[in-house]
Amino acid sequence: MLNPIKLLNKNFLSSLDMSAEEIFHILEIAKDFKNKDLNIELKDKVLGLIFDKSSTRTRVSFQVAMSRLGGTTVDLNPTTSQIERGEPIRDTARVLSRYCDVLAIRTFKQSDLEEYAKWSSKPVINALTDNEHPCQALADFMTIKEEFIDFKNVVLTFIGDGNNVANSLILCGALLDVEVRIACPRGYEPKSSIIDKAREIYRDKSLLKITNDPITAVQGANVLYTDVWSSMGEENQKEEKDKDFLGFTIDQNLVNNADKDAIILHCLPAYRAKEITDEVIESNKSRIFEQAENRMHVQQALLSSLLS
C-alpha cells in the first residue's frame, strides 16, 4: 500500500502536468481507495466546482470523492454566480481560492482554465476543456490496467473525433508508453501540437498512429474507445458531423476485427447508434461502467495527492 505523494505541479490542467511516475502512483492509490485499503482524511478541506458545461459523472464523482475523504464541495453554478455576468476570471479566481482549498473547472477554452490557475492561490484541476479531459484519461488507464495488469503490449484504438478526450488519451498514453491509434475521418485529426508533443515523449518509438481507416486501426487492438462525434459547444455542427463520421461507429463488425479479448471503453454520455451501437455498449466486452466508476477512485487519489 502506498501513500499519496506531493505532485510536482500545483495544478492538473493537462495530462502533461504529471510525470509517468506520478500517473503510476495515482493509479496505485486509486486502486487502494477502490479496495478500501487506504484511509486519508481531508477534513475541513473544500473543493469548489465551476462548471460552464453540463456534467453528470465528473461533477458527482468529484462530489462523492471529496465526501469520502471527509471534505466538502461547493458547487458554483456560473448562471447564479457573478461568473455569468462577466466578472473577470482573475477576480473570481483570487476570491474563490481564499475560500476553497482546490478548484475543479469545466469550461470551453484551455486559456480560460490557465487564467484561473494563474490567479488562484490553490490547485486548479481541469474537469474538461475543449482541449483536454485529463481526469478522464486517468480513469481510462486505470480501467485498462485492471484488465491487462500492466500496459506492456497494450494497443489502444480510439475511433472518432480528434477531440479533448482523444487528446488526453494521446498524451497520457505517450507518458505511459502505450501504443495509441486514432481513427478519424479526414479533417478531424487531433491538433498537430498534441501529436507533436506525444511523438516527442515517445522519442524514437512510433507508437502513435493516426489513420482514416477504422478497420486497419482496430487490427490486434486490445482496447476500442470512442466518444461523441459532436462535443459540448459543437451542437450546431451536429448534422454535418453525423454525415462525416458515417463508417466510424463501433459496431459488432469493428469489434470482430480487433483482438478477441479486446475491451470497449466510452467516456459517456453516449449517443447510441451513432458512435457506438447498443449491442456493443451492452456486450460482455464493455468496461464502460467500470470506467465511469473509476472516475471517482482516481479523483480521490488526485485530490489527496494535490492536498497532501
Q: Count the neighbouring beta carbons within 10 Å of the beta carbon of residue 233.
A: 13
Options 128, 166, 263, 306; binder of ligand CP; rule CB under 6 A: 128
Task: Tell me the residue number closest to ligand NVA, measured at CB.
Answer: 231
Contact between 178 and ligand NVA per CB under 6 A: no
- Nearest CA to 186 out of 225, 204, 213 is that of 213
Contact between 232 and ligand NVA per CB under 6 A: yes
**C-beta closer to ligand NVA: residue 97 or 164:** 164
Alpha-carbon distance of 90 to 58, in angstroms, equals 24
Q: Kindly determine how many residues on this chain lie close enough to bind ligand NVA according to the rule CB under 6 A.
A: 9
Q: Please pick, among 57, 68, 106, 287, the residue that the annotation labels catalytic.
A: 106
**Whether residue 204 lies in the annotated active site:** no
**C-beta closer to ligand CP: residue 202 or 225:** 225
Judged by CB under 6 A, the chain residues 40 through 79 that form the site for ligand CP are 55-58
Please name every residue paired with 158 in a beta bridge, in sequence order, or none if there are none. 182, 225
Site string (134-153) toward ligand CP, x via CB under 6 A:
--x-----------------
**Positive or negative CA dihedral for 236, 289, 55, 112?**
negative
What is the strand order of the sheet 179-183 is part of? 208-211, 179-183, 155-159, 223-226, 263-266
Q: Count the neighbouring beta carbons within 10 Å of the beta carbon of residue 88.
A: 12
For residue 97, the minimal CB distance to ligand NVA (Å) is: 25
Alpha-carbon distance of 194 to 183, in angstroms, equals 15
Q: Please pick, among 295, 297, 299, 300, the residue that the annotation labels catalytic.
A: 295
Q: Please pick, among 57, 101, 135, 136, the residue that the annotation labels catalytic.
A: 136
For residue 95, the minimal CB distance to ligand CP (Å) is: 25
For residue 216, the minimal CB distance to ligand CP (Å) is: 28
Long-range CB contacts for residues 124-129, cutoff 8 Å, separation at least 24: 124/11, 124/12, 124/13, 124/93, 125/11, 125/12, 125/13, 125/302, 125/306, 126/12, 126/13, 126/14, 127/49, 127/51, 127/55, 127/58, 127/59, 127/62, 128/53, 128/55, 128/58, 128/164, 129/164
Q: Which does 56 bind (CB under 5 to 8 A by kind): ligand NVA, ligand CP, none?
A: ligand CP
Options 16, 29, 218, 267; binder of ligand CP; rule CB under 6 A: 267
Rg (CA), the chain: 19
Options 15, 120, 164, 277; binder of ligand NVA; rule CB under 6 A: 164
Contact between 107 and ligand CP per CB under 6 A: no
Residues near ligand NVA (CB under 6 A) are 128, 163-165, 227-228, 231-232, 267
Residues near ligand CP (CB under 6 A) are 55-58, 128, 136, 267-269
Active site residues: 106, 133, 136, 227, 267, 295
